[in-house]
Amino acid sequence: MAFILIVEDDERVSELLRRGLAENGFIADAAYDGLTGKKLALQNPYDLVITDVALPKMDGLELCKALRQSKPNLPIIMLTALGTTDDKVEGFDAGADDYLVKPFEMRELLARIRVLLKRAQTAVMPQGDMLQYADLKLNLNTKTAERNGIAINLTPKEFKLLSYMLQHAGRVLSRIEIAEKVWDTHFDTGTNFIDVYINYLRKKVDKDFEPKLIHTRPGMGFVLMKPDNA
């Protein structure tokens, strides 16, 4: 029976969420501002946090960043009325594991919760603590990256995306696969947040280095590989 924290300043919405979770076998606490949510989340062993973005005292993005520092493995779902690509990228950069745009159906939220809880319960560290391709290295323990000995500063989502690409170097990865494996969500063709993150990685991993490692396959997806003549 999972223990969930709801951080939502609209008490009506918060109560609807709490009831919906209770009806499906979850135990839920509620906080109505970001500071209270942070205090509760740090004091109690929650299995997952659901937080709105627009909150009094501390917004959901700042709350998410704060929780990531103290509880890096705590699953976080962000709720918001805004659904543009930039909004989603900002939420993921803050450390959210998933992003749900209001209004949404309870069954969709429940599905997202179950995916994140299952992932948290079955997560294991890959054998060895390093991933390497060409001169690009990722340390899975310290969550650091470097290329040709030069440190590369990555956000949590950038690190996760690059890790997945390194683990599947040489294979073309579709946007659908990346969405499901890296974001644990279904790809929304109405937004281009995956392309945005690929561009972020290119600027950090390829812009100042040779050879270029991240390539686009039009109509198919993206691949991490060295050119044949490199």
- CATH number of 75's domain: 3.40.50.2300
Q: Report yes or no on 218 lying in a domain.
A: yes
What is the residue whose two structure tokens read 């209001």?
A: 102
What pLDDT score was predicted for residue 122?
55
Instruction: Kindly state whether residues 23 and 113 are assigned to the same domain.
Output: yes
Domain region containing 210: 130-224
* 3-class DSSP string for the chain: CCEEEEECCCHHHHHHHHHHHHHCCCEEEEECCHHHHHHHHHHCCCCEEEEECCCCCCCHHHHHHHHHHHCCCCCEEEEECCCCHHHHHHHHHHCCCEEEECCCCHHHHHHHHHHHHHHHHHCCCCCCCEEEECCEEEECCCCEEEECCEEECCCHHHHHHHHHHHHCCCCCECHHHHHHHHCCCCCCCCCCHHHHHHHHHHHHHHCCCCCCCEEEECCCEEEECCCCCC
Pairing of strands 3-7, 48-52: parallel
Q: Report yes or no on 229 lying in a domain.
A: no
Instruction: Kindly state whether residues 82 and 61 are assigned to the same domain.
Output: yes
Q: Report yes or no on 82 lying in a domain.
A: yes
Could you say which of 100, 122, 144 is where a domain stops? 122
Q: Report yes or no on 202 lying in a domain.
A: yes
User: Tell me, what CATH number does 161's domain have?
Assistant: 1.10.10.10
Query: Whole-angstrom Cα distance, residue 168 to residue 173?
Result: 8
Tokens of 101: 């745009």
Instruction: Kindly state whether residues 20 and 36 are assigned to the same domain.
Output: yes
What pLDDT score was predicted for residue 121?
66
Could you say which of 122, 138, 157 is where a domain stops? 122
Q: How many CB atoms lie within 10 A of CB 67?
A: 24
Instruction: Kindly state whether residues 164 and 203 are assigned to the same domain.
Output: yes
Instruction: Kindly state whether residues 49 and 95 are assigned to the same domain.
Output: yes
Instruction: Kindly state whether residues 145 and 117 are assigned to the same domain.
Output: no
What pLDDT score was predicted for residue 88?
79
What pLDDT score was predicted for residue 45?
86
Give how far Cα 11 sits from Cα of 31, 43, 137, Å. 9, 22, 47
* pLDDT tens-digit map of 124-168: 444 468 888 889 999 988 889 999 999 999 998 899 999 999 988
Instruction: Kindly state whether residues 118 and 135 are assigned to the same domain.
Output: no
Instruction: Kindly state whether residues 49 and 78 are assigned to the same domain.
Output: yes
Regions of the chain with pLDDT less than 50: 124-127, 229-230
| Total domains present in the chain | 2
Q: Report yes or no on 98 lying in a domain.
A: yes
What pLDDT score was predicted for residue 173?
92
Instruction: Kindly state whether residues 151 and 191 are assigned to the same domain.
Output: yes
Query: Whole-angstrom Cα distance, residue 59 to residue 61?
Result: 6
Instruction: Kindly state whether residues 167 and 72 are assigned to the same domain.
Output: no
Query: Whole-angstrom Cα distance, residue 97 to residue 93?
Result: 10
Instruction: Kindly state whether residues 118 and 145 are assigned to the same domain.
Output: no
Give how far Cα 185 sits from Cα of 67, 77, 109, 123, 149, Å. 22, 12, 11, 17, 34
Give how far Cα 38 sits from Cα of 5, 53, 158, 205, Å. 10, 13, 25, 34
Q: Report yes or no on 27 lying in a domain.
A: yes
Q: Report yes or no on 230 lying in a domain.
A: no
Instruction: Kindly state whether residues 134 and 112 are assigned to the same domain.
Output: no
Q: Report yes or no on 20 lying in a domain.
A: yes
Could you say which of 104, 122, 140 is where a domain stops? 122
What pLDDT score was predicted for residue 230?
45
What pLDDT score was predicted for residue 187?
61
What pLDDT score was predicted for residue 102?
86
What pLDDT score was predicted for residue 189?
57
